[in-house]
Each structure stands twice: as C-alpha cells, then as structure tokens.
Structure 1
Amino acid sequence: MDFSQERITTIHDYSINGQNVTERINRLSLVRPGVVIIPMLYDEIKSDSLQLIVDQLNKSSYLKQITIALSAENSAQYREVLDFFGQLEIPHIVVWCNGPRIQNILEDMKEKELDITSFSGKGKDVWIAIGVASLYGYAIAFHDADIKTYDKYLPAKLLYPIIEPELDFFYNKGYYSRIDTESSQMFGRVHRLFVEPLIETVIKDIDRSSSLLNYLQSFRYPLSGEFAMTRDLAMNIRIPSDWGLELGLLGEVYRNTAMKRISQVDLGFYNHKHQSMGSDVSEGLSKMVNDIFTTFIRLLGENTNIQISVPFLHSISVRYKRFSQDLIRQYHADAIFNDLKYNRHQEEIYVDTFAKIIQQSKNDYFKDTSEVLLPDWKRALSAIPNLNKRFRNAALEDCIEHSKYNSVK
C-alpha cells in the first residue's frame, strides 16, 4: 500500500467512494461552485473520447458550468461543435477563441497596451476561458478533450480538495498511471524519459537544496493536463502559451501559493491520444520537449541562484542521458514484471533524440527573447475592467447567431 507523502500533500485513491464525494460536492457547491474548462481543437469532435466525456459530464450534476475553449478554422466548424455540445445537459458555453468576435476584443486590448495577438495555441485559449469561467465558479478544473478513460468522478476528484473547506487547497494536480490496458503498453514518454531525468540531473549534479526543484520533483506527473485551482489563484497567475503550459503553470503556482495549499490526487488509469515524435522541433513530441526544456530553463533562471550559461546547458545534455538510461533499466524491469510490451531499444532512441533537442535548445535559449507568458487576469481587468464579461458576451453572441443560422437552415 502506498502511503507516501511528498513535500506537497498527496491524496491517494484507497478505493475512494466517488458517489460520496460527489454528494458532498453537491452540497458544498451551493457556496463554492465548481466549473470545468475543456480546451479543444475542432478535429477532436470526431473522436469517441469526446462523446464519452459528454456522456459522463451529464452524470456530474455537481458542476455549475462548463466552458469549452474551442479553436476552429471557420464558422462551419464552430457550428458543428456548438451542435455537438447541445447534448450537454449542464449549463455550458462554447468560446470560439479564434473567432471574429473574440479577435475584435483582442484587437481592442492592443489599444490598452495589452497585446496578446502574437500568442496562439492552447495556452491562449485557456487564458480566454479562465476569464469566462471566473464569472461562474469558485473553483476551476481543467482537462483535455481526448481522454479515453474518462468518468464522472474525474472532475470531482480535481475539485473536491479545493471546494471542501476542511481541506481548502488552492491548487490540486491530477496524477495517474499512463498504461494502455488494452494494448498493454507503457506511455508517458516525455515525463518518464525527459522531465523526470532532467529534474534529477539538475538536483543531483547542480543544486540539491533548490526548493523549486524539490517542489517540481514532488509531483508524480508534472505534465498532467488535469488540475484545478481557486478562481482567485487562476486570476493571479500568468499562463504559458506553448507546450510548456503545464510545467510553466507549476512554476506560477510555486510563486503564488504556499506549499501547504497545494495537493495532488490519484486519478487512476488514464489513456488519451498519443503524439508521434515529429521530424523536427516544430511538431509532435519534439516540439513538446523543446518547449518544455525552454520553460524549465526559464524557471531555473527566475527562481533559483543557478547561473544559466552555455557550459551549464551543455553539462545538462551530457548528464541527462546517464540518468535516463538508468531509468530505462528500471522501467524495463517494471514492464517485464507486469507483462507489458516494452521496446527498450525504442526508449533509448527517444532519449538520444531528446538529448539532441537539448543540444539545439541551449543555443536557442539565449537567442529567443520573445515573451512566452500571457498577462495575469488581475492586470488585464485593471486595464479593461469588464474584459472577462466582454469575452463571455462575445461567446453568447456567437452562439445566438449560429443557432439562428441552424434553425433557418
């Protein structure tokens, strides 16, 4: 039995009574309502995962509201997603984050010297959705739209440690086993073969006393896209705009929250769509690793006394491989014992590729001075006091316009 606690509170699943938890949330949500943000691309509407998520959310009566942060290329795609979520019985809103109305608001923001038009992707969509969701809930949960193992208790597990006054956490991170039980394969490659050995490299070889590094190492799955936080915290942190979103958010939470107000919760087995490696750092896992490494080095520069230099980054790339190869031996043993398919040679290839990306990124780190963090919402509202309501109203106007289109058609 795993009773281990980390520097942050670890909430294990000792056969949690999900029904009991949801009943308690139902009562508590009268005072501390919980909402969910789901960032998604249009293409995800075609997956079985999204239908499963909607079916399970309809059983989650404890939720106050759901905000879907949508990236769609045109109005036809937006209408299709809008129609799809028509089967959702919980109050919800589809925010067309790259639609004309939202874009007009972003252009207006530039006049207040709050220009985020150069940002794109999931981080920007999440930022917009936070503004909208803040109008509805005390606690905000986030999860992706491609979860194949989704159930109605997942949002409850994320929200309960925050909504329950006796616990009163400000931030709760999900962790889980990245095992595909159908194919008997071990996934979570970027975490297992990159992030974990990268953090271990810097701790053991550079700075064992760093509170930031020890904090990051305390999370069992720092790249998890499933987490929840109070509305107040969400409005006070800066959102990374690239694949460094999850790790960058942990850095923001570190700067803005006491350690005793942070927890992580066991979400059980978890599976979603898997990225290919990609031919270069512009796509797939390669881009993800590149962005995560840049985010990690930025966090070191901002929150530690470590001097970031080319020799330092070169040392990391060399030592990283040693720790990764040690882990591969351990994962291999774990896989054999559990009768999982495990291609040790392929794992070694991943490590070689990741090490090369570190080598390339160490040069780009000093060249790239572009901003990667969106402004916090407190600053945005001080510049434009009704900004979150404008985003909400734009989303409602999109919905009304395209719903009329469908009824006329």
Structure 2
Amino acid sequence: MDFSQGMITTVHDICTECDELKVRMDELSDKYPTGVIIPMLYDEIRGNALPKIIDGLNRCIYLKKVFIALSAENIEECEKTVKFFQELEIPYEVLWCNSPEVAQLLLDLKDRGLDITRLSGKGKDLWLSIGVASLEVYAFAVHDADILSYSETLPLKLLYPIIEPRLDSFFSKGYYARINLESRSIYGRVSRLFVAPILGALQEKLNHTSEFLRYLQTFRYLLSGEIGITSNLALNIRIPCNWGLEMGVLSEIFRNVAYKRICQVDLGFYDHKHKAISDDARGGLIKTTEDVFTTLLRSLTEIDGIEVSREFLLSTLVLYRRFAQDRIRQYHTDAMCNIFDYDRHLEESTVESFADVIMREANTYAYMGNPTATQLPDWVRARSAMH
C-alpha cells in the first residue's frame, strides 16, 4: 500500500470514513460555507453523467450552493438546463456565461480598460463563476460534468482539507487512475505520454535546477480538472481560458501559496469522456496538448526566466522523444503484468503526434507571438476595474 509523501501533502484513500467526514463538514458549514462549481456545455445534459452527479450532490447536505457555469447558445437552452437541475436538492444557480447580460458586462469592462471580450472557453466560464461564488462561500470545489463514476465522496475529499481548521490547506488537487476495469484499458494519454515526458525533458534541459518543474512533477495527475480552493485564493490567481487551464492554475498556485498549504487527494477510479487524437490542430487531444505546452512555456518564462527559442525547442524535442519512449516501455510492462489491453503501436503513434506539436511550435514560433494572449486577469483587478 502506498503511503509515500513528497514536496506537497498527499491524502491517500486508505480507509476514509466518509460518514464521519460529512458530519464534521456539516459542523463546520456555518463558519465555513462551501459550494461546488460545475463548468458545462448545454449538450452535456443529454449525457449519462449528470444524473449521477446530481444524485451524489444531493447527499452532500453540508454544501451551501452549487454553481452551474453554463455555455449555451440561447435562452431556451439555458431554461432547459435550469429545469434539468430541478432534481438537485441543494440550492443551485445556473450562470449563463455567454448570455447577452454577461457580454454587456464584459463590454463595460472593456470601456474601463480591461478587455477580455476576445477570450472564450471553459477557463473563462470558470473565471466568471469564481466571481459569483466567492461572494457566497468560503471555499468551493470544481469538477467537470462528464464524470461517469461520480460519487458524493468527490466534493467531500476535495473540500475537507480546506475547511478543517486543524489542517488549514488553501488548495487541493484531485488525482485518480484513468483506467477502465471493464475494458481493461488505460487512458490519460496527454498526461502519460506528453506531460510527464516533457517535464522530465525540460528538467534535464535546465540541468535539474527548476524548483517549479520539480513541483509540477510532484502531482500524480497534473491535468485533473478536480480541485478545491478557498475563495480568497481563487480571487488572486490568473487562469488561461483554453485547455491549458489546469497547468495554468497550478502555475498560479506555485506563485501564491506555500507548499504546506497545498495537498493532492486520491479520488479513486474515475471514468470521463475521452477525446480522440485528431489531425485537425483545432480539435481533439492535439489542441489540448498545444494549449498545455504553450501554458507550460509561458509559466517557465515567468517563473524561471527561461528564453524560449527555436533551438531551445528543437533540443527539448529530442529529449522528449527519449523520455516518452521510456514511458511507453514502462506502461507496456505494467499493462502486460496486469493483463490490460495495451496497443504499443497506438501509443508510439500518439507520441509522434505530440512530438509534432513541439516541432510546430519550433517552426512557427507560435509561443513567441503572444504567450499571455489567453490569460485572464485575477478578480482583484477585475473588481477594481468595475468600481
């Protein structure tokens, strides 16, 4: 059984007594009210995950409110979403993040010198909901709307380390095994085959001098979308609006929080919807990889002062291939010993696609154009602009 600890605290799921934790959360709820933010697209109400999520949240009676950060095309879709969540017994609010009213608010901010009208995506929806949720709760959990194996323990595990005064964490990051026990398949390709190898490659490129990279390598599932955070901290971080969201949040946590106030929490086995590798750079895992890589490079420049150049990226590419090949060999061994399905050719092809992302970055200088173009301001600045 794994008891290991690292740079940040790891909360293992060894014999968690969830009923006792729920009682404790209820005791603390008056002084430390909590909520949950769920960013979602309208189409997700047709999926299989949300009914189970609603059922799980109804067991979290300590929650003050659930905030649905909705991206919808029109008022009819918004109204249908509100009706869909009527089964939720916890107080809830549907925030239509691309509504005409929100658009007007952002235009008003633009007139005051803060222009985020050009930005869109999940990160922007989360950013808007943070501004609302922080007015009502001490801390909140964030998770996606596509978790097929959702249970009431998810918000509980993310929020308890933050709410419990004897622990006093400010930020929790969920981790879990991206595997399907029924099909005996391994998922999490961007994390396994891109993020872990590129962090190793960059660390070697920088002669293992980057504390920031060492910090990122401490997280067991860096790209998980499940976090818990205090409202005060959330108001003080900048986040990307694109698929680099998770990387961007961890970069801001590194800049703003002491290690002893950060933890990662074992959420068990989780099954999400899975993206396909796409030749179209505008979609699929390739787009995700591009956004993650650009956010990582921007953060390295900001924190460690590295100078990104074509030569830097080309040598990083060579190192990445070596680290990725080692990972494939390791996962192949692990899968075979556990009688899991493992298509080594597909894994090798995926690495080639990810390597092309680095090559395109080197050839087009995409990163060097404007690395901060997708970054949203913190709410401290936004509120200042509103007054």
Q: Same fold (TM over 0.5)?
A: yes
- Correspondence 1:80 to 2:87: no
Residue 274 of structure 1 aligns to a residue in which SS? Answer: coil
- Correspondence 1:242 to 2:242: yes
Give 1:297-376 correspondences, 5 Å limit.
Answer: 297-362=297-362, 363-368=365-370, 371-376=373-378
For 1:380, the equivalent position in structure 2 comes to 382
Cα distance in 2 between the residues matched to 1:371 and 1:280: 22
Give the TM-score, by structure 1 length: 0.92
The answer to whether the Cα contact below 8 Å between 2:238 and 2:377 also exists between their aligned partners in 1 is yes
Equivalent residue letter for 1:32: Y
Equivalent residue letter for 2:383: L
Equivalent residue letter for 1:119: L
Cα distance in 1 between the residues matched to 2:341 and 2:259: 38
Deviation at 1:280, TM superposition (A): 2.3
Equivalent residue letter for 2:188: G
CA shift digits 1:253-301 (9 cap, x unpaired): 1111111111000000011100011222210101000010101111111
Cα distance in 2 between the residues matched to 1:339 and 1:50: 32
Cα distance in 2 between the residues matched to 1:254 and 1:162: 17
Deviation at 1:207, TM superposition (A): 3.0
The answer to whether the Cα contact below 8 Å between 1:37 and 1:66 also exists between their aligned partners in 2 is yes
Residue 37 of structure 1 aligns to a residue in which SS? Answer: strand
Deviation at 1:206, TM superposition (A): 2.1
Residue 124 of structure 1 aligns to a residue in which SS? Answer: helix
Give 1:20-169 correspondences, 5 Å limit.
Answer: 20-169=20-169
Residue 318 of structure 2 aligns to a residue in which SS? Answer: helix
Cα distance in 1 between the residues matched to 2:380 and 2:345: 49
Deviation at 1:169, TM superposition (A): 0.4
Deviation at 1:305, TM superposition (A): 3.8
- Correspondence 1:278 to 2:272: no
The answer to whether the Cα contact below 8 Å between 2:298 and 2:371 also exists between their aligned partners in 1 is no
Deviation at 1:372, TM superposition (A): 1.6
Cα distance in 1 between the residues matched to 2:184 and 2:15: 23
Cα distance in 2 between the residues matched to 1:377 and 1:21: 31
Single out whichever of 262-271 and 374-383 deviates more from structure 2: 374-383
Residue 21 of structure 1 aligns to a residue in which SS? Answer: helix
Cα distance in 2 between the residues matched to 1:181 and 1:28: 37
The answer to whether the Cα contact below 8 Å between 2:122 and 2:242 also exists between their aligned partners in 1 is yes
CA shift digits 1:81-105 (9 cap, x unpaired): 1110111110110000011111111
- Correspondence 1:174 to 2:174: yes
Equivalent residue letter for 1:365: Y
Deviation at 1:370, TM superposition (A): 5.5
Residue 69 of structure 2 aligns to a residue in which SS? Answer: strand
For 2:224, the equivalent position in structure 1 comes to 224
Cα distance in 2 between the residues matched to 1:162 and 1:313: 39
Cα distance in 2 between the residues matched to 1:222 and 1:287: 17
Cα distance in 2 between the residues matched to 1:352 and 1:279: 12
Cα distance in 2 between the residues matched to 1:129 and 1:286: 27
5+ residue gaps in structure 2? none
CA shift digits 1:27-48 (9 cap, x unpaired): 1111111111000001111011
The answer to whether the Cα contact below 8 Å between 1:22 and 1:153 also exists between their aligned partners in 2 is no
Cα distance in 1 between the residues matched to 2:345 and 2:271: 23
Cα distance in 2 between the residues matched to 1:108 and 1:18: 45
The answer to whether the Cα contact below 8 Å between 1:35 and 1:66 also exists between their aligned partners in 2 is yes
The answer to whether the Cα contact below 8 Å between 1:222 and 1:246 also exists between their aligned partners in 2 is yes
Cα distance in 1 between the residues matched to 2:305 and 2:136: 40
Cα distance in 2 between the residues matched to 1:113 and 1:179: 46
Counting aligned pairs with the same residue, the percent is: 52
5+ residue gaps in structure 1? 386-409
Cα distance in 2 between the residues matched to 1:202 and 1:110: 37
Residue 55 of structure 1 aligns to a residue in which SS? Answer: helix
Cα distance in 1 between the residues matched to 2:256 and 2:232: 11
The answer to whether the Cα contact below 8 Å between 1:41 and 1:71 also exists between their aligned partners in 2 is yes
Residue 281 of structure 2 aligns to a residue in which SS? Answer: coil
Cα distance in 2 between the residues matched to 1:318 and 1:369: 23
Cα distance in 2 between the residues matched to 1:145 and 1:272: 9
Structure 1 residues 357 and 372, CA, compared in 2 at 3 Å: closer, same or farther?
same
The answer to whether the Cα contact below 8 Å between 1:238 and 1:373 also exists between their aligned partners in 2 is yes
Residue 63 of structure 1 aligns to a residue in which SS? Answer: coil
Deviation at 1:369, TM superposition (A): 5.1
Deviation at 1:306, TM superposition (A): 2.8
The answer to whether the Cα contact below 8 Å between 1:293 and 1:361 also exists between their aligned partners in 2 is no
The answer to whether the Cα contact below 8 Å between 2:178 and 2:186 also exists between their aligned partners in 1 is yes
The answer to whether the Cα contact below 8 Å between 1:39 and 1:122 also exists between their aligned partners in 2 is yes
Cα distance in 1 between the residues matched to 2:253 and 2:247: 10
Root mean square deviation, CA, Å: 1.0
The answer to whether the Cα contact below 8 Å between 1:71 and 1:97 also exists between their aligned partners in 2 is yes
For 1:266, the equivalent position in structure 2 comes to 266
Cα distance in 2 between the residues matched to 1:162 and 1:367: 38
Equivalent residue letter for 2:377: P
